[in-house]
Amino acid sequence: MTQTIARLAADHSFGFVVTAVLICVVAGWLVAKLASNIPVAKLEHRKLWIAGTAVVAGIGVWTTHFIAMLGYRPDMMLGYEGGTTTLSASVAVAVVGGPLSFAPICRSWHSRSALGAVAGLGIGAMHYSGMAAIQGCLQLHSPLSSAMATGIGASCLALACGLPPRLATSRVFCALFTIAVGGTHFIAIAGTSLEPVAGQIMVPHANVALSIFTAVGAAVLFLGAFLTILTAQRFEAQEHAHSAVLRTALDNMSNGLVYLDGDERVRLYNRRYLEIYGFDDATDLTGLTVDQIVDLVGDKHCWDDARRQQARARLGSWRTLDRCTSIDYPIDDGRIMQVEIRPVEAGGTVVTFDDVTGDRLAQRRITELAFCDPLTKLPNRRALNERMERDFLPKQRFKLLLLDLDRFKPVNDTYGHAVGDRLLIQVAERLRRIAGPDGFAARLGGDEMALLVYGDLDQATAVAEQVIEAIAQPFQIDDITLSIGCSVGMCCTDDARDAVELLQFSDMALYESKRHGRGRSSCYTRGMQEAVSERVQIETNMRTAIERGEMHLAFQPVLALTDDHVIGYEALIRWDHPTLGAISPVQFIPMAEETGQIVPIGAWVLQEACRQIALLPGDVYVAVNVSPVQFRSPLLLSHLTQALSQSGLPAHRLEIELTETAIVEDGSQIATMLEAIRRLGVTVAMDDFGTGYSSLAHLRDFPVDRIKVDRSFVATAESDRHSMAVLEGITHIARALGIPVLAEGVETPSQLELLRKIGCDAIQGYLVGRPEPLVRAATSQPSTSQRVFA
């Protein structure tokens, strides 16, 4: 090795060697600078950059060789053949410059290394083609040196081209390029020997001059390329100055941004994009391909191969879009990014990332508020409607169960709404368990809830009974034990045309359950709608029935058994509807009580009864039934005084009848009202005694002037000893208390004789007279008495 180095030193002129090395270093630096612009250049300019890089690289290798050869073997006058010399330059540009200029646009490092290795072998090819141009001597080349020379060239350039972007700096490339070119040349020269050919006359001067001229021309070319690079850098500096403003704007954007060119390489990105994926500001993504970006993100977040393939597939679908598209993209840390993919006309794609996590959570909350009951967390009415409409088309067979809690209002009134709310939450939990995964429970508002049961009538009925049983079980809230119940109405989709009608029919069935005593379930049947329509018609027409003259009073006489004379009449309201005919009080009075219309109707009955009875002579009184709703109204005393004053009827000729059930609903308040009524001079009768909450304490505590025994005891007294005992007991107790007794429903002479025998004071019934207009009832008194005692 020492001898080889000494021989190389002896065979070379030091000045030429230094010059060759300097030219090689400059060439390597120029190639690195030119090559770095190839991947980021626009497509229409990229060919020029590739061609320039190839020429500079080839001429640099060629010039280094011949400058070094000018200082080789100063003891010999070497000559060069012009054609071969030119050919060697072409070989350098094609085989060395070509692979080096195409390597930067390759995505895979394997491909870049392979092109670098080809370029390294090209240096050896150029060397030996240049050596072939030498004239007048015999050349002997060592195979080992040749292999070593081409090997060092190929390995150095393979490494220079295959390095990752963060390591492939201009300095590293320049150093490896210089080693590759210099190593190939000098190792090959070390294994080469030149021997003059005997008898051949050499004319080297022209060839030497040609070699010098070629070297000078190459140097000029390098100088021009160098000046071109400097000029490009000047313009690049200006471009950087302009792009600094853009970079400032990009880095201060709230959205992440990345621009991929037509070759799917990163051309532009901002700081926010790096932050989204957890990279620091020093990370350089410029020139990286999509696959490389995926690998960087995957390495950062420890993605497996399946996750990486998923990311590549998503990016691939984004690149195929031909118009601007916006999608929601959840990332690994739970944030939601709104990604906008915008294709660029010149080629490539701009992708922006906007963190919309807060907005999406707010939207989700708004949706929950729109479709969820905030108290019970059950779906609300809107959610129920949407579910029913969805399952109608395509039609699925299910039943809607509407349920209304019984005795819920007293809970709120007694314990407060806080306890009521907690009770509703527990009710919702029970319904949710009953509905299960296949059902659907909802709260419609207040204490009204709903269930969707997917199945036949038997299944729906079983669920309804299960609901009634579950709600009937006691609820425990702190130390309070609450017992409520519920009523259920249900309808099947087969009975309704749409969700609106299904809800309407279920509500009708629920009303039927309440009307028949609560704590039960009812299923919609055909005819309920007509009944409800008739009810609505009755309720509507009832408001104006008095003004239209459709309502009138019928009077049923009361006969005193002491002297067998009519002592009074009970005023009974009748309604003759123009289309429905005669409507029974049993039908319309409960409606009037529910709607509150009983108060104005009751006031009219008082006025009309007093007006008509005032036309009769004597002390005949009139009895008027007062509804519990009317009795609780603060207007009752006012209506009584107005009826008496406007008719001129003495107060003692007016008697109001109140059922025993109504009297005991609010004992203290009722007792106060009864005292106020009696102070007016109006008498009070307890109606239907024996059928309600009958208690002797009521006769003691409440001031009444007459007891009316219910007709059910009169009808069965002759055949039922228990009814007979009740009649006798009431009569004896009332006589002891000094309260007259009136028996209702007397229809036969035998009943009359029985009541007379046990000491009843008065009777009322068909035997004495039917309810009819007052004029007719008054004029028929004689015949009535005759009929009674015939």
Distance CA 488, CA 519 (A): 8
Find residue 569's DSSP bridge partners.
557, 622
Show Cβ contacts of residue 365 under 8 Å, excluding neighbours closer than 6 positions: none
* Residue at 26: amino acid letter: V
What's the CA gap between 139 and 125, in Å, rounded? 16
Going from the C-alpha of 52 to that of each of 37, 213, 407, the distances in angstroms are 11, 22, 95
How many structural domains is the chain composed of? 4
The model's pTM is 0.51
- Cβ contacts of residue 227 below 8 Å, gap of 6+? none
Same domain, 651 and 726: yes
pLDDT: which is higher, 273 or 751: 751
Q: How many CB atoms lie within 10 A of CB 160?
A: 28
> Is there a cis peptide before residue 394, judged by omega within 30 degrees of 0?
yes
Are residues 126 and 158 located together in one domain of the fold?
yes
- Asked, for residue 537, whether it belongs to a domain, the answer is no
Predicted local confidence at residue 439, as pLDDT: 84
Alpha carbon distance 25, 388 (integer Å): 81
Task: Please report the pLDDT score of residue 647 as a whole number.
Answer: 92
For the stretch 435-476, pLDDT in tens is: 888 889 999 988 999 999 988 888 889 999 999 999 999 999
| pLDDT at residue 213, rounded to an integer | 53
Q: Looking at the domain assignment, is residue 30 inside a domain?
A: yes
Rounded Cα distance, 81 and 214, in Å: 12
**Contact call for residues 693 and 667 (beta carbons, < 8 A):** no
The Cα 427–Cα 163 span in angstroms is 70
What is the mean predicted confidence (pLDDT) over 279-295? 82
CB-count exposure of residue 167 (10 Å: 0-12, 13-18, 19+): exposed
Q: What is the mean pLDDT of residues 156-170?
A: 82
Q: Which amino acid is residue 126, in one-letter code?
A: M
Average pLDDT value over all residues in the chain: 82
**Same domain membership, residue 186 and residue 58:** yes
Residue 243 domain flag:
no
Residue 638 has pLDDT above 60, yes or no: yes
Summarize the confidence of residues 406-421 as an average pLDDT: 89
- Max Cα–Cα distance, the chain, nearest Å: 184
Q: Identify the CA nearest to 291 among candidates 319, 267, 315, 324.
A: 315
Highest mean pLDDT among 105-109, 275-279, 485-489: 485-489
- Does one domain contain both 559 and 701? yes
Rounded distance between C-alpha atoms, residue 599 and residue 601, angstroms: 5
507: CATH: 3.30.70.270
Examine the domain organization and report whether 408 and 334 are in the same domain.
no
pLDDT of residue 352: 87
Same domain, 585 and 713: yes
CATH number of the domain bearing residue 276:
3.30.450.20
**pLDDT of 556 strictly over 60:** yes
- In percent, the amount of the chain with pLDDT more than 90 equals 23
CA proximity to 64, closest of 120, 98, 23, 31: 23
Q: What is the pLDDT of residues 262-274, one digit of tens each?
A: 777 888 888 888 8
Least confident interval from 146-160, 222-236, 501-515, 680-694: 222-236
Round to the nearest angstrom and report the end-to-end CA distance of the chain: 164
Q: Residue 786 has what pLDDT? A: 44
Q: Is residue 535 part of a domain?
A: no
User: How far apart are alpha carbons 332 and 58 in whole angstroms?
Assistant: 49
| Domain closes at, from 526, 556, 581 | 526
CA angle 335, 338, 342 (to 5 degrees): 145
In a domain, residue 613? The reply is: yes
Q: 642: pLDDT confidence band, cut at 50, 70 and 90? A: very high
- Mean pLDDT for 397-413 is 89
- In tens, the pLDDT along 417-437 reads 999 999 999 999 999 999 888
| 579 dihedral zone (left: phi>0; alpha: psi -120 to 50; beta) | alpha
Whether pLDDT at 730 is above 80: yes
Grade residue 639 by pLDDT with cuts at 50, 70 and 90: very high
Q: Which of 236-245, 249-258, 261-270, 499-508 has the lowest mean pLDDT?
A: 236-245
Q: Last residue of some domain: 495, 526, 557? A: 526
Q: What is the DSSP letter of 162?
A: H
Examine the domain organization and report whether 418 and 332 are in the same domain. no
Residue 777 has pLDDT above 80, yes or no: no
Co-location of 611 and 726 in the same domain: yes
Q: Are residues 217 and 71 in the same domain?
A: yes
Do 597 and 506 fall into the same domain? no
- Give the model's pLDDT for residue 75: 62
70, 211 in Cβ contact below 8 A? yes
| pLDDT of res. 11 | 63
Residue 681 belongs to domain with CATH number: 3.20.20.450
Element (H, E) at 337: strand 336-343
What is the domain range of residue 62?
2-195+202-232
Check if the beta carbon of residue 461 is closer than 8 Å to that of residue 523: yes
Indicate whether 365 belongs to any domain.
Answer: no
Per-residue pLDDT band for 661 (boundaries 50, 70, 90) equals low
Residues 319, 398 within the same domain: no
The C-alpha atoms of residue 746 and residue 762 are separated, in whole angstroms, by 10
What is the C-alpha separation between 25 and 406, in angstroms, rounded?
98
Phi-psi region of 334 (alpha: psi -120 to 50; beta: other; left: phi over 0): left
Q: Are both 107 and 39 inside the same structural domain?
A: yes
* 517: in domain: yes
| pLDDT tens track for 16-38 | 788 788 888 888 888 888 888 78
Rounded (5°) CA angle 529-535-539: 145
pLDDT of residue 99 exceeding 80: yes
Provide the pLDDT for residue 204.
Answer: 47
The residues assigned a catalytic role are 744
Domain contains 444: yes
